[in-house]
Structures are given as structure tokens and as C-alpha cells.
Amino acid sequence: MRRRILQSTLFVVAITALVLGGPLAITTWRLVEDFTRAELTSRLEQLAARLDDPDVGDQVDNAAIGLAIPAGGQLTLVLPERAPQVLGSPVGDNPVAETLPFGPGGALTLAQPRSIMRTEQVQVTVIVLLLVVLSVGTGAVVATVTARRLAEPLLDVADRAARLGAGDFRRAPHRHGIPELDRVSDVLDTSAAALAELVQRERALVGDVSHQLRSRLTALQLRLDELSTHPDPSARREALAALEQTERLTGVLDELLEAARLARAAGAEPLDLREGLTAVAEEWRQPLRAVGRSIKVQVPDGLLARVTPARIREAVGALVDNATQHGAGTVTVAARAGENTLVIEVSDTGPGVPDELVPHVFDRGVSVGSSTGLGLALARALVEADGGRLELSRARPPTFTIFLPAARADDMVSLPRPVGTPR
């Protein structure tokens, strides 16, 4: 994008330089000749005024008119019935000359070598061309700065939109000073908040519906089990058929929930937790430093989780944000290998979660401060979307624990191998 903006601007500058620079150089070349001839004519008029005397004799006062002849020039005075008088230096072939009538039938001719005029033309034209080149260079600098100033915010907004599409619903407080792009950033932040709330509502709805359906189906199965022991063969047969349909319905519900889970985790891929969590920590290091706090990452090498990178960054970012707003001291992000799973812990040394809020800390709208109460609920929804689990493992000091599925062996096969690594 930056290259296209730069190329377009430079193309416009180059066309402008060609359209204006060429005619300007030609015009300047001709103007020098016009000025030279005008100067010769002006000198001739001065000489004519000085020589226009009825008492002029056979000889012209050379000293009186010598100062009016330009350097390297030549003056020729022609009078009727008199031999032409020549003053000055030889001007060679094809000089620049101007003639002015003088007296009755006479003429004054002032000439100078054409090379003098050509030298002035070349000098002035070169100056004009240098100014054109300077303007092109200035335009190139302005184009480069403008391209960078426009391209970087556009790329940042595009990356923000891409992260939003991948499930990263965090707000981006940074603005670029360009009203139109800042307006787009505001709209993306509003959309992110709306999508985050929508995701949470969807997760809550799916959980409630699945729970209610399972409860009702379980109750229905128990009733049908009782009817299946009825002494009436017809009633018993119908009860067994209904029980079979109920079991099928339960299987369909399980398949639908599994399909929804797989669809949500379609972007899951092996993620190096050390790399991913370090990136999240670097993002939050400056905000924490601004309030006199710090963040520490304790993640060993070789921990590969099968997750959607944007979701896990959003979830861990929400936990760090929660620790920033409501906690104290150093925020610690640690990871370790658990039993058949990978564990991420986010903790701080703050006062922790009040006892009355512990059962509801992940409920939407629950907060101990002035925040929206959406962050922890969204974090849990995002973790569960990848088949993980988020819990408050300790209330004081607060420790939130994420359980993630580890990458499978077939996931490792799909990863790019370093050059020279044997298969």
C-alpha cells in the first residue's frame, strides 16, 4: 500500500515537472535572447541621443560613446556620403545585432558575439532545470512522508479489523490523528464491544439451552423407563419406541453441540505458549509501567497448545487487564504442562476477589469497580470455544487458571520443519 501511494504521488510530481519544466526551460531560453536584444536596442537609443547633434563632424567622439558599447561588442555608424565607422572588438560570424535609424539616411548597428548570449542562456536554463529537479526531490520527500503517514495507519486499521474477525475483541486506544481513520477505529471498537457481548450471549444461550434440554430429556427417559415395565404389551412397546427416539434425540443434541464446538475452533492451530504469552506481556508492559507496576512471564520452552491464537491472546489479555484494573503488584503469567492438558495461570498480589463475588466472577455484568463486567465472561467464552476451561483457582491473592488442550501428534506433522531437519 505504501509503495502504491508513493508511486502514484511520484508519478504526479514527475508529470507536473515535465509539463511545467520543459516549457519553462524553453521560455527561459527565449527570454534571455529577448532581454539581450532589448539591451542592445536600449544602448543604441542612448548612443543615438548622444550622437544626434547637427554639428557632428567627420569624426565621432570615440571616448564619448565607448562606454555605451557592451564588453566584446561592436558599433557600426553609417552616414550618407561617409565611410562607415566601426568601434569595438570583432564579433565573428552570426552575431547578435540590432540596428537603429540615425539621422537622415544613416544607421547605427550594435552587435555582440552570439556565444555570450548562449552562455547566459545555458546558465539560466540550468538554474531553471535545477529548480525543477529540486522541486521533484522535495515532492519525493513529501510523497514518502505522506505515504508513510497514510500507509501505517491504514495497515494498523486493517490489522485491527483482521484481529476483530479472528475473535480479538480488545479495544485499541491508539489513534492516528487522521479524523477519517480515527472514526473507523472508533467504529471498530464499538463493533468489538458489540461482538464481544454477542459472543457471550451466544455462549450463555447455548449453555442454557443445552442444560435445559438435557435435564428435560433425562426426566423424559426416566418416565419412559418406568413405562417400559408396564404390564400392557402395547403400552410397553410404545414406551420402548419413545425411549429409542429420546436416545436418538440425545445423540443428535450431542452431535450438534460438538459440531458447534468444532466450528468455533476451526481456526485452532499449534501455538507456542512462550511466544504467544510473551507477545501479550509486551503489549501490557507499558500500561502497567505507567501505573508503577510490572509484568513477569514464566513459560518454559516446548509447550504447544492447540488453540486459536487470537482467542487465547484475547482471553489472557482480558485476565491481565482485570489484574491491571483491580489488582496490585507484579502481574505474573505462567504456564506449565498438566495432566493431559496445558495450564496457564495469571495472578497478581492484589486483595483478590470478595467472597460474595467468587461464585459469580464470570457472570456477565459482575464487577467490583466501574468496568463493564464483560471481560472475564468473554475470556471464559473464548477459552471454552477452543475446548478449554477457565477457572478462578484462588481468590486471594487472585489466580485465574486456563486449561488448554495440547497439540496432537498429527498437528506436529503439519508444522513447517526447519531447513536441514531430518524427517
Greater pLDDT, 371 or 157: 157
pLDDT attached to residue 260:
67
Q: Kindly state the cell numbers that stand for 363.
A: 457472570
Query: Minimum mean pLDDT among 50-64, 369-383, 395-409: which range?
Result: 50-64
- The predicted-structure confidence for 44-78, as pLDDT tens digits, reads as follows 888 777 776 555 444 455 665 666 778 888 888 88
SS3 readout for the chain: CHHHHHHHHHHHHHHHHHHHHHHHHHHHHHHHHHHHHHHHHHHHHHHHHHHCCCCCCCCCCHHHHHCCCCCCCEEEEECCCCCCEEEECCCCCCCEEEEEEECCCEEEEEEECHHHHHHHHHHHHHHHHHHHHHHHHHHHHHHHHHHHHHHHHHHHHHHHHHHHHCCCCCCCCCCCCCHHHHHHHHHHHHHHHHHHHHHHHHHHHHHHHHHHHHHHHHHHHHHHHHHCCCCCHHHHHHHHHHHHHHHHHHHHHHHHHHHHHHHHCCCCEEEEHHHHHHHHHHHHHHHHHHCCCCEEEECCCCCEEEECHHHHHHHHHHHHHHHHHHCCCCEEEEEEECCCCEEEEEECCCCCCCHHHHHHCCCCCCCCCCCCCCHHHHHHHHHHHCCCEEEEEECCCCEEEEEECECCHHHHHHCCCCCCCCC
Can you give the pLDDT at residue 248? 85
Show the cell assigned to 161: 479489523
Query: Of the candidates 252, 244, 235, 380, which has an alpha carbon nearest to the alpha carbon of residue 315?
Result: 380
- Cα–Cα distance measured from residue 384 to residue 378, given in angstroms and rounded to the nearest whole number: 10
- Across the chain, what does the average pLDDT equal? 80
Give the tens place of pLDDT for each residue, 307-351.
888 888 888 988 998 898 888 999 999 999 987 789 999 999 988
pLDDT-derived band of residue 1, with 50, 70 and 90 as boundaries?
low
Do 359 and 392 meet the contact criterion of CB atoms below 8 Å apart? no
- Evaluate if pTM is beyond 0.75: no
Confidence of residue 201 (pLDDT cuts 50, 70, 90): confident
Q: Torsion angle of alpha carbons 29, 32, 33, 39, nearest 10°?
A: 180
Q: Which of the pair, 58 or 356, is modelled with greater confidence?
A: 356
Q: What confidence score (pLDDT) does residue 331 get?
A: 94
Number of other CB atoms surrounding residue 269 within 10 Å? 15
Of residues 79 and 399, more confidently modeled: 399
Q: What percent of the chain has pLDDT over 70?
A: 85
pLDDT at 55: 52
Please tell me the predicted confidence (pLDDT) of residue 364.
Answer: 67
Q: What is the mean pLDDT of residues 188-192?
A: 80
φ, ψ for residue 405, nearest 5 deg: -70, 140
> Is the pLDDT assigned to residue 366 strictly greater than 90?
no
The residue-averaged pLDDT of 362-368 equals 67
Q: What is the pLDDT of residue 4?
A: 73
Residue 56, judged by CB atoms within 10 A of its CB (0-12, 13-18, 19+), counts as: middle
Buried b (16+ CB within 10 A) or exposed e, 12-46: ebeeebeeebeebbeebbeebeeebeeebeebbee
Residue 263 pLDDT level (bands cut at 50, 70, 90):
low
Q: What is the mean pLDDT of residues 65-94?
A: 80
Confidence bin at 297 (pLDDT 50/70/90): very high
Q: Of 345, 296, 346, 311, nearest to 326 (Cα)? A: 346
- Phi, psi (5° rounding) for residue 361? -65, -25
Band the pLDDT of 414: cuts 50, 70, 90.
very low
204: its cell numbers:
450463555
Give the pLDDT confidence score for residue 336 in this predicted structure: 92
Cβ partners under 8 Å of residue 316, min gap 6: 276, 277, 280, 333, 344, 346, 379, 402
What's the pLDDT at 216? 82
Q: What Cα–Cα distance (Å) separates residue 298 from each residue in 273, 284, 310, 334?
A: 10, 15, 20, 4
